[in-house]
Amino acid sequence: MASALSYVSKFKSFVILFATPIVLLPLIILIPAKFVRCAYVIILMAVYWCTEVIPLAVTSLLPVLLFPLFKILDSKQVCVQYMKDTNMLFLGGLIVAVAVERWNLHKRIALRTLLWVGAKPAQLMLGFMGVTAFLSMWISNTATTAMMVPIVEAMLQQMEATRSATELELVEKGKASELPGNQVIFESPGAGHQEKQDRKSMCKAMTLCVCYAASIGGTATLTGTGPNVVLQGQMHELFPDSKDIVNFASWFGFAFPNMLIMLLLAWLWLQCLFMRFNFKKSWGCGLERENKEKAAYEVLEEEYRKLGPFSFAEANVLLCFLLLVVLWFSRDPGFMPGWLSIAWTDGETKYASDATVAIFVAILLFIVPSEKPKFNFCNQSEEERNAPFYPPALLNWKVAQEKVPWGIVLLLGGGFAVAQGCEASGLSEWMGKQMEPLHAVPPAAITLILSLLVAVFTECTSNVATTTLFLPIFASMSRSIGLNPLYVMLPCTLSASFAFMLPVATPPNAIVFAYGHLKVSDMVKTGLMMNIIGVFCVFLAVNTWGRVIFELDHFPDWANVTHIET
């Protein structure tokens, strides 16, 4: 039996890859409607995305092949979906992130903040979470986690080494004082076991806090993680009259407070579960604790010293990064006219978008020098005279080509092609009609149930693939029952980033799990509550300040089917 199972497992990918299209074939033979052919392609892509029998990016290219073959969309209509404004926004953000990583600016920010926060366990955990979340807003969750976890690990090892040295010192002092009249008090085996468990728990908490903070932080900005960009692209695709309602500033206003609340609750949960929220232990003092804190601080200081002085290249990257953020926020803030209104609007047409800003700053990174140009032409050495006057730029194409995850751009494009296919084939309209009975269910209950569904689904498939599959369905449902589509699409987009339970659910989880401090049961136990916290926070956000920012209380004109078709 075991050998039979291993044999099946060996050929699982082969069977799924070739059997799935054949098994689904009766669907289009028995019901040869256009929307059924589109459903066939989407179900096939969903199976391939969930099982990853071929790379996710390759699955995303299936609409280019199958939509024209099945007469759903012509090739030109499909191909144009793969390099839309939203893709360029994400690409620009990725290039800026590559520059930040290349010059170690993210590491300098992280270490400087941690040195400022302090070395007490509770403070240190909060510091690690805050820094990881902030960096994850701008660079990839995976890169942030890969940088932070070695710092955590080095700090934990140093604390353990200091503890052993302190114990040895106390034992030696005890032996020296073993004279008549002196009593030596030995620690009971039970107390020693408890202390060992506490150390293990601290290691678990410190490593878990990094991967959770990385996932939470990515939700705060539009370019922080894939699902957020998918939402913006789907809004442009499904609701072209939505007038850029989801932009960098509006998303940040909605998602950033949610991220802060969730981060604080996650910190409290990890404190309660692993450190039993013992204020005396977490914030108190004592010889061993002081030594541990000193050891942790020394590790952070040593790591910071290795970076050397603040370089010219880092200063330029920081200036470019700040320029990007300022231009994003001031383009069209909503509560006041932005720089867009000066010369880049013509009636309803807005010529510059968030993508324009992202690409502008990305191009600057290939121009701005990484070293100070030398203007002293008189007293130059032979080597300086032979060197070009203009120093190398902050980025070159070779580095960008190697570091930018191009597969994500294709994944986004595949999602937009699927959304376009749903609209053109009538699949969206058909799905909307099937969901009309949901009109009787309270909107809050619909949002809560669908958020939980997405949070569970994203544990076993890519978060970008999850949002790509679900958002067109939720948009159709919302239109059919007269509910503002964003009331469902916003919480479900955020919930797609809540992959906290399994090591394989997201790369940050896998990186942390690889260090050996955690068991799968630890992640499941902690992650289950994290999912509940996440869904609760999103539910709170969408029913409070989200209502004001996106006007969720009424059904907008841009979501009206007849309004769109006219």
Contacts for 46 with CB less than 8 Å, ≥ 6 apart: 465, 469
Cα–Cα distance, 5 to 19 (Å, whole number):
18
Closest CA to 317 of 97, 100, 94: 100
pLDDT in tens, 512-564: 888 878 888 888 889 999 999 999 999 999 999 999 999 888 888 887 754 44
Q: Of 152-166, 213-227, 548-562, which range is least confident?
A: 152-166
List C-alpha distances in Å: 470 to 7, 46, 89, 341, 493.
Answer: 34, 10, 22, 35, 9
List C-alpha distances in Å: 417 to 296, 321, 475, 518.
Answer: 50, 31, 15, 40
Q: Are 146 and 97 in contact (CB under 8 A)?
A: no
Residue 350 per-residue DSSP state: E
Sequential DSSP letters for 499-517: --S-TTSSHHHHHHHTTSS
List C-alpha distances in Å: 367 to 275, 389, 394.
Answer: 49, 14, 7
pLDDT in tens, 39-75: 999 999 988 988 888 888 899 999 999 999 999 999 9
Cα–Cα distance, 517 to 450 (Å, whole number):
33
pLDDT at 380: 64
Tell me how crowded residue 337 is: count the other CB atoms within 10 A of its CB: 12
- Residue where the block lists tokens 């067109």: 472
* Phi, psi of 370, rounded to the nearest 5 degrees: -95, -10
What pTM did the predictor assign?
0.81
Confidence of residue 183 (pLDDT cuts 50, 70, 90): very low
Please give the mean pLDDT across all residues of the chain.
Answer: 83
Q: At what angle do helices 12-30 and 34-51 cross, to 10 degrees?
A: 170
pLDDT at 565: 39
Residue 376, CB-side half-sphere exposure with 13 Å CA sphere = 5
Cα–Cα distance, 226 to 299 (Å, whole number):
34
Residue 178, pLDDT > 60, answer no
Measured CA angle at 150 (ends 147, 153), to 5 deg: 150
Closest CA to 322 of 100, 145, 112: 100
pLDDT at 265: 95
Query: What is the chain's alpha carbon radius of gyration, rounded to the nearest angstrom?
Result: 27
